[in-house]
Chain A
Amino acid sequence: MPDSVIEIARLSRAFGTKKALDDVSLSVPRGSVFGLVGENGAGKSTLIKHILGLWRAQAGTVSVFGADPVLQPAAVLRRIGYLSEQPDLADWMRVDELLRYTSAFYPNWDPAYAESLRAQFGLDPRARVATLSKGQRAKLGLLAAQAHRPDLLLLDEPSSGLDPIVRRDILEAIIRAVADDGRTVLFSSHLLDEVERVSDHLAMLHQGRLILCAPLDQIKARHSRVVLRFATPQARPPAMTGAVFLNGGDRHWTAICDSSRIAAPIAFGAMGASIVEESPASLDEIFLAHAG
């Protein structure tokens, strides 16, 4: 049993007839950066709300630091730093007031660290929260989420709609969290580029189901982009398990192959195609191949 921070087993959740989460099981290893990807509505935020204990599991179990976040919210939340896409910050407070207010909830709040982050982010302590730009708000949310040096940093679409400079601050915060003292980060994003940059584990949700969940290295090593030449022109290449044709026409087609499900040279040889080129697939392509 690996040392894990989050254990989710057979979690399901429906809203009316819509299955938001469908039999999801995963575990998040301590010290990892766990990237959660999927389209809007795939179930990413719903999963995160279960980890925070905001929603009770309809079926299955959720365990965070070995505790049930619904039954023991204080014990769990104290060790979590959470940033949502639209941080819920008291608009009428000033930046310094908000930080003092937030610090009261966390016995481990580190005022010196909070101050160094504030200076680094260029936030004016006397500015009203209501007057901050979207980017400054995100930075303030990020500061408030990590000044108590949480064991688990939970970021729900943290960089959505932000400019590259603020996105960089967020990615740096993720890297620092794991590099400093082996803290754990779980973050959701639909920007696969940034997920590939900073994650070492990856979970892909599609329509509430977990379609891929493994160390990123393994996912990358398993998938390849294969350009094929068929002996005869194909209107559509034949369907086959483990290979998804992304584009092409006539004799030339590009497929994304999952080597755990298909031995590409043999399978393509059998249907009269030869491999022209084989190269690593990007996460975007891998996602399209699995979610298509």
Chain B
Amino acid sequence: MPESLRLNPSTGTPLYLQLVERLKHAIATGAIKAGDQLPSVRKMAEELLINPNTVVRAYRDLEHEGILDLRHGSGVFVRDSVVSRSRLMNKAEPVVRSAIDRLESFDLSEEEIRRLFENDLAHRRTARQSRKRHA
């Protein structure tokens, strides 16, 4: 597992966010399954060579999102309800496919389509963050 979770400090994205994204991806693709136990904070920190607080922060974020269950003393588990998330992902796939079909009909390149998606997501992210900051 650690191979696929490898983090890269030089991209600028905070490491806890990278870890959150990697874990979500691993769950969405089925590499990590509902009910699976994740490594302890200390073990994960040593494997990935990151500060233990970074792991704590990522685990807490995922707990708030209802993805992980932090059971005091007994470990970190992927919630069963997460399976419904991956079912949602399956449902979303055709939506994305038809959107991309339409974009391709505008004669946009793969790179342009990717940029459009990423820009829109980035805008939403900054909007969310500034809302959070002003809240």
A to B CB contacts below 8 Å, 24 in the list: A33-B51, A171-B49, A175-B42, A175-B50, A178-B52, A179-B41, A179-B52, A180-B42, A194-B9, A196-B9, A197-B7, A197-B9, A197-B15, A220-B14, A221-B14, A225-B12, A277-B119, A278-B122, A278-B126, A280-B11, A280-B14, A282-B9, A284-B10, A285-B12
Q: Is A134 an interface residue (CB 8 A)?
A: no
* With known contacts A176-B46, A278-B126, A279-B122, A197–B51 Cβ distance under 8 A: yes
Interface flags for B13-36 (1: CB within 8 Å of A; 0: not) read 111000000000000000000000
Q: Is B45 an interface residue (CB 8 A)?
A: yes
**Contact of B14 with A199 in the complex, beta carbons under 8 Å:** no
CA distance A194 to B8 in the complex (A): 10
Q: Is A91 an interface residue (CB 8 A)?
A: no
Nearest-CB distance from B79 to chain A (Å)? Answer: 25
**Contact of A178 with B12 in the complex, beta carbons under 8 Å:** no
Interface flags for A174-203 (1: CB within 8 Å of B; 0: not) read 011011100000000000111011111000
Please, which residue of chain B has its CB at the minimum distance from the CB of A281?
A: B12
Question: Which residues of chain A have C-beta atoms less than 8 A from B52's C-beta?
Answer: 175, 178-179
Tally of chain A residues near chain B (CB < 8 A): 30
**Contact of A193 with B46 in the complex, beta carbons under 8 Å:** no
**Contact of B10 with A179 in the complex, beta carbons under 8 Å:** no
CA distance A192 to B15 in the complex (A): 13
- Number of CB contacts from chain A to chain B under 8 A: 65
Which of A's residues lie within 8 Å of B, judged by CB? Answer: 33, 168, 171-172, 175-176, 178-180, 192-194, 196-200, 217, 220-221, 225, 277-285
Which of B's residues lie within 8 Å of A, judged by CB? Answer: 7, 9-15, 41-42, 45-46, 49-54, 119, 122, 126
* With known contacts A175-B45, A175-B46, A282–B51 Cβ distance under 8 A: no
Q: Considering residues B9, B41, B42, B119, which has the most beta carbons from chain A within 10 angstroms of its beta carbon?
A: B9
CA distance A172 to B122 in the complex (A): 34
B interface: dominant SS: helix
**Contact of B12 with A282 in the complex, beta carbons under 8 Å:** yes
**Contact of B122 with A277 in the complex, beta carbons under 8 Å:** yes
CA distance A187 to B75 in the complex (A): 31
CA distance A10 to B12 in the complex (A): 32
Nearest-CB distance from A153 to chain B (Å)? Answer: 14
Contact partner of A200 (CB less than 8 A), chosen from B11, B41, B42, B51, is B51
Contact partner of A193 (CB less than 8 A), chosen from B9, B13, B45, B51, is B9
Besides A200-B54, A279-B13, 4 more A-B contacts (Cβ < 8 Å) are A175-B42, A175-B45, A196-B9, A198-B51
Question: Which residues of chain B have C-beta atoms less than 8 A from A217's C-beta?
Answer: 14
Please, which residue of chain A has its CB at the minimum distance from the CB of B57?
A: A217
Question: Which residues of chain B have C-beta atoms less than 8 A from A282's C-beta?
Answer: 9-12
**Contact of A168 with B49 in the complex, beta carbons under 8 Å:** yes
Question: Which residues of chain A have C-beta atoms less than 8 A from B15's C-beta?
Answer: 196-197
Nearest-CB distance from A189 to chain B (Å)? Answer: 12
Closest CB pairs A-B (n = 6) = A196-B9, A280-B12, A282-B12, A179-B42, A193-B9, A179-B52
Contact partner of A172 (CB less than 8 A), chosen from B49, B51, B119, is B49
Nearest-CB distance from B68 to chain A (Å)? Answer: 19
CA distance A193 to B9 in the complex (A): 6
Please, which residue of chain A has its CB at the minimum distance from the CB of B8?
A: A193
CA distance A194 to B50 in the complex (A): 9
Question: Which residues of chain B have C-beta atoms less than 8 A from A168's C-beta?
Answer: 49
**Contact of B49 with A198 in the complex, beta carbons under 8 Å:** yes
